[in-house]
C-alpha cells in the first residue's frame, strides 16, 4: 500500500486514494467539497501545546516525535489510530492531509511510519553517523 503525504492546500487528485485529514481543525478558506475527504480524524492531531512547542523549536524533531508518540497513547488517539488502520487496510493508496509546511517533519509523517511498521527513527548519532560524517570516535582504553 502506498501512503502519501499532502498539504491541505494541494488539490485532490485521483492518485490520492483515500484522503484522511489528520488535523484538529478544518483548514480555513477551503471548502469541505474541495478537500474530498474519506475521513477526518482530529484525535490524531498533536495537542495545541505540543504543536506550538514544535513550531518554536523546529530543530527538536526527535523530541517532538517522542512526545507525539506518547500523545498517541491517549484513548481517543488510540481509537483514531484504529480507524486509520481500518482505512489503510481497505485501500490501495492512502493520503494523509495536514497543514504542516514541511511534510517529512510532521505528525503525518510519523503516522505514515506507524502504518508502515517503522517504530524507531534512524539514528542521528552513534558510530554509523560518526563514520559517515568523518568524525572519529575516541577509543576506550581497557
Distances (CA, A) of 126 to 25, 38, 59, 130, 139: 39, 42, 19, 6, 13
Selected residue with higher pLDDT from 63 and 142: 63
pTM of the model: 0.80
Nearest by Cα to 21 from 75, 102, 94: 94
| Domain ranges for the chain | 2-133
Q: What does the pLDDT look like over 54-112, one tens digit per residue?
A: 999 999 999 999 999 999 999 999 999 999 999 999 999 999 999 998 999 999 999 99
Amino acid at each position: 500500500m502506498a501512503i502519501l503525504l499532502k498539504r491541505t492546500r494541494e488539490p485532490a487528485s485521483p492518485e490520492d486514494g483515500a484522503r484522511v485529514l489528520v488535523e484538529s481543525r478544518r483548514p480555513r478558506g477551503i471548502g469541505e467539497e474541495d478537500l474530498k475527504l474519506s475521513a477526518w480524524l482530529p484525535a490524531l492531531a498533536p495537542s495545541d501545546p505540543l504543536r506550538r512547542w514544535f513550531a518554536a523549536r523546529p530543530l527538536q524533531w526527535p523530541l517532538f516525535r517522542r512526545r507525539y508518540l506518547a500523545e498517541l497513547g491517549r484513548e481517543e488517539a488510540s481509537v483514531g489510530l484504529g480507524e486509520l488502520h481500518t482505512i489503510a487496510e481497505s485501500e490501495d493508496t492512502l493520503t494523509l492531509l495536514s497543514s504542516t509546511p514541511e511534510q517529512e517533519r510532521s505528525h503525518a509523517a510519523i503516522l505514515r511510519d506507524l502504518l508502515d511498521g517503522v517504530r524507531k527513527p534512524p539514528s542521528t548519532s552513534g558510530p554509523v553517523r560518526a563514520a559517515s560524517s568523518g568524525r572519529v570516535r575516541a577509543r576506550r582504553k581497557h
